[in-house]
Amino acid sequence: MIHKNSSHEEAIKSAMYSIEKKKKGVNEGYWRLNYHISTPAFWMNDPNGFSLFNGEYHVFYQHHPYSPEWGPMFWGHIKSKDLVFWEHCPIALAPNEKYDQDGCFSGSAIEKDGLFYLLYTGNVWTGPDHDKDLKQTQCLAVSEDGIHFNKISENPVIFSGPSGDIHPHHFRDPKLWKHNEYYYCVLGSRTLNHHGQVLLYRSLDLKVWEYINVMAKSEGNLGYMWECPDFFHLEDQDILIMSPQGMEPANYLYHNLHQAGYIHGKLDYETGILNHGDFELLDYGFDFYAPQTMEDKKGRRIMIAWMAMWESEMPEQQHNWAGAMTIPRQLIIQDNKIKSLPIPELEKLRKDSVRYQNVTIDGEHKFNDLLGDSYELEVIIDAQDALLFGLKVRACEELNQETLIVYDRLENLLELNRDRSGRGPKGSRKAPVKLHNNELHLRIFVDKSSIEIFINNGEKVMSARIYPNQRARDIRFFSDREIHLKEVNKWNLEKSISTSLL
């Protein structure tokens, strides 16, 4: 029997009213995304509860429904039958209980015995310093229909962190999975003197939890806190994804405020220890954080992430929204590393195909019918003897705008530069990339205010929010010596996120 709680329902109703009032204006703004998940109005951060229930895909997200800035967290909700077309659902969780009064923080979802469970972090500020004065506990909510959720009376189900070298207050973001007869969860944590780590728990019923061990921790160079862990088995590997806060930049790496990546190896379920190798990034761009994965109906491992970065300027806030998710990416393992590929279902959105083959260019070249602001572009470039080459997208000469993608053959680096992308944050990020048979393969997804570049079939990915003028639509290729464009394929991509609330 699920008990309804009228104060929770009221809190959700007020939040929905706040969204409803603003959503029309939000959709009128030019930077509104066509095929990326964002809120109907106001603030979004981490994806939460990415999962399958009753044959449908669900994404929940950290949501502040009263302003385009972060605030007391609710869980927004959107669902899809195919991971391509999404429809907004009513808000799922509101912070109305003593144990979550200052926010329903990140967590995950799982189906058990026909019911849909959310395990999330209840956040309470215990004083003015949000880094020190906080109490975080793990709480459970349940739904019969996958839309309306009730918090259980036994909450919090994990009331405090374990003893040992474990910070008592920074204890959040449970990610659930099932293995044999147990449910497991990993939790983000830090040691007493601030090194990131991840804790492993198990339970038979999702309500009574037993602490097993520290699954993995930073040995001093991987940040002061690991947020939003995720754990899964892929091919013959156990993968732990996490978002380390506060890693120091090293050469061209780790220039975002916080990072998101993985370590992999073998988990011993008895000791709870992951025997693992080095940390690898999951994305080399500017805007990628708190990724979460799920196993889909076909057994594929699919990941989405918050396509933004803490403390970054977000010009869409002036239109009363903030934040978006990346496109869903399929994770595979090749050469002992994770590769991320756009899910093939996104091809459903393609229209207006334009194709060029075997074009040689030297200097700068623009094709007159190759332009846009919501598209997929695939290019295969034979580099010949060129040392520096690439392309500019969202370009407009008159406005002096362009987003630059340039390959440096001597350094083996692909650079994404948004210094002249328009409004918003600037800068450059680099990914280590080798040519294969002297060729560079790129699949680029441009939306009204974003770009995601999949390099050499998912070996590396770079994601960024950009805020160009709506007239900046050109695509220009350039090179310091002759290059050969073997393939240029472009499709406009249709809108796939519904504008109406359920």
Give the residue numbers marked as catalytic: 46
Instruction: Give the H/E segment covering residue 17.
Output: helix 6-28
CB of 363 to ligand FRU, least distance (A): 44
Instruction: Give the H/E segment covering residue 99.
Output: none
Nearest residue (CB) to ligand FRU, 107 versus 458:
107
CB of 306 to ligand FRU, least distance (A): 7
| CA–CA–CA angle 275, 276, 280 (5° rounding) | 165
Per CB under 6 A, residues contacting ligand FRU are 45-46, 62, 73, 105-106, 121, 172-173, 188, 227-228, 289-290
Nearest residue (CB) to ligand FRU, 106 versus 403:
106
**366 C-beta neighbours (distance < 10 Å), count:** 16
CB of 245 to ligand FRU, least distance (A): 8
Q: Is-contact 375 491, C-beta < 8 A?
A: yes
CB of 228 to ligand FRU, least distance (A): 5
Determine the residue with CB nearest ligand FRU. 105
Instruction: Give the H/E segment covering residue 6.
Output: helix 6-28
Nearest residue (CB) to ligand FRU, 39 versus 121:
121
Q: Which residues contact 256 (CB under 8 A, 6 or more apart)?
A: 286, 287, 288, 289, 309, 429
Nearest residue (CB) to ligand FRU, 48 versus 403:
48
Tokens of 474: 């050109």
**110 C-beta neighbours (distance < 10 Å), count:** 21
CB of 322 to ligand FRU, least distance (A): 13
By C-alpha distance, which of 477, 485, 437, 436 is closest to 457? Answer: 436
CB of 289 to ligand FRU, least distance (A): 6
Biggest alpha carbon distance in the chain? 71
CB of 392 to ligand FRU, least distance (A): 32
Total residue length of the chain: 502
DSSP 502: -
Tokens of 368: 């007159």
Instruction: Give the H/E segment covering residue 193.
Output: none
CB of 129 to ligand FRU, least distance (A): 16
Using CA atoms, how far apart are residues 72 and 105, in angstroms rounded to an integer? 9
Nearest residue (CB) to ligand FRU, 151 versus 172:
172
Q: Which residues contact 387 (CB under 8 A, 6 or more apart)?
A: 408, 409, 410, 480, 481
DSSP 11: H
Q: Is-contact 454 350, C-beta < 8 A?
A: no
Q: Is-contact 432 462, C-beta < 8 A?
A: no
Q: Is 12 helix (H, G, I), strand (E, B) or coil?
A: helix
